[in-house]
Amino acid sequence: MTKVALASLNAADEAGFMAALGEVYEHAPWVAQAACRQRPFGTLAALHAAMMAAVRAAPADQQLALIKGHPDLAGKAARAGAMTIDSTAEQASAGLDHLSEAEFARFHRLNSAYREKFGMPFIICVRRHSKDSILAQFERRLQNSMAAETETALGEIFHIAALRLDQRLEAADRLEVHGRLSTHVLDTHGGRPAAGVTIELLELSATGEQRMIARATTNRDGRTDAPLIGGRPLPIGRYELRFHVADYFAGLGTRQGDPPFLDVVPVRFAVAEPEGHYHVPLLVTPWSYATYRGS
């Protein structure tokens, strides 16, 4: 998606503005229309705030209509290709577009239970979650009261809108919607960054499924050239980093056991803050290692 400059939007006519931002709030162009009348905006943050304020200022039934305008998660609309382009891409980001029959059935059950209790679809900012985390939230939020759940749904809609604005617009400021997952490997046997170490990142799921989501080799500074995840929220979920350390030490001719005491070192951890910075390094010798949540 080519980004539009905020300045251009400030100067555009209403049709231009609505073409760019009319779908930031799902099936609710009135939110963008309200913001359109308050131009110009100096920052993305100001525009985002104005749109949120418009939602907050709307009567309760209009807010509820906004909520009800969203599709079910992994629902029939998804299967039928009947969702907005944004929703389609968002649901795909957590793998909701290729569920097993069992998973589809589970989502169907949860959607039905949720609709029955609250009379609206379950809304969650999918890009901030793994499939496991979505299911966990689903179960947890089914326990909420109607009031709490309406508030939670609006909060999720604001998260979704912030990410849609971030994808569409360019400005001097950035909305704080991105997290970062990075690593580095320090060879404390040789007292130097470990270069040339193969690293894999997998997303783990409660069902035992493991999905490879990044693969990199450390550079001369023991780091990867790019973050393992960056430029987007970190999906709440569980991950495993795999560091191929026996190959690294073998390449240096370092004495190891036969077989080596350490080979592929797995580090399992969970992400709980989608906009956080998770730096998960490895300090390693052929006989020891340490890891931690760093910065």
Angstrom distance (rounded) from CA 234 to CA 269: 13
- Of these, 139, 211, 221, 252, which contacts a copy of itself (CB under 8 A)? 221
Cβ proximity to a copy of itself: between 97 and 221 the closer is 221
Part of the chain binding a copy of itself (CB under 8 A), chosen from 69-77, 148-156, 158-166, 189-197: 189-197
293 counts as binding a copy of itself under rule CB under 8 A = yes
- Is residue 134 near a copy of itself by the rule CB under 8 A? no
Who's near 198: CB < 8 A, 6+ residues apart? 215, 216, 217, 243, 244, 247
Q: What are the φ and ψ backbone dihedral angles of 175, each rounded to 5 degrees?
A: -75, 145
Q: At what angle do helices 29-36 and 14-21 cross, to 10 degrees?
A: 140
Cα–Cα distance between 274 and 127 in angstroms, integer?
Answer: 9
- Residue 260 in the binding site for a copy of itself (CB under 8 A): yes
Contact status: 190 vs a copy of itself (CB under 8 A):
yes
| Amino acid type, 210 | Q
Q: How far apart are CA 88 and CA 263, in angstroms?
A: 41
Segment near a copy of itself (CB under 8 A); pick from 31-39, 58-66, 84-92, 283-291: 283-291
Of 198, 225, 228, the closest CA to residue 213 belongs to 228
- Residue 207, CA distances (Å) to 149, 211, 220 in order: 28, 12, 37
268 binds a copy of itself (CB under 8 A): yes
**Considering the rule CB under 8 A, would residue 81 count as an interface residue with a copy of itself?**
no
- Whether the upstream peptide bond of residue 259 has omega within 30° of 0, thus cis, is yes
Closer of 232 and 244 to a copy of itself (Cβ): 244
Contact characters 50-69, a copy of itself, x per CB under 8 A: --------------------
Closer CB to a copy of itself, 86 or 240, in the complex = 240
DSSP state at residue 213 = E
Pick from 49, 188, 198, 213: which binds a copy of itself (CB under 8 A)? 188
For residues 20 and 89, give the distance between their C-alpha atoms in angstroms, rounded to a whole number. 17
**Pairwise CA distance, residues 122 & 253, whole Å:** 56
286 touches a copy of itself by CB under 8 A: yes
Return the number of the residue (101 or 258) whose C-beta is nearest a copy of itself: 258
Q: Does 252 bind a copy of itself (CB under 8 A)?
A: no
Q: Is 295 in the site for a copy of itself (CB under 8 A)?
A: yes
Looking at beta carbons only, is 14 or 273 nearer to a copy of itself? 273
Binding residues for a copy of itself (CB under 8 A): 133, 184, 186, 188-193, 221-222, 236, 238, 257-266, 268-270, 272-273, 283, 285-295
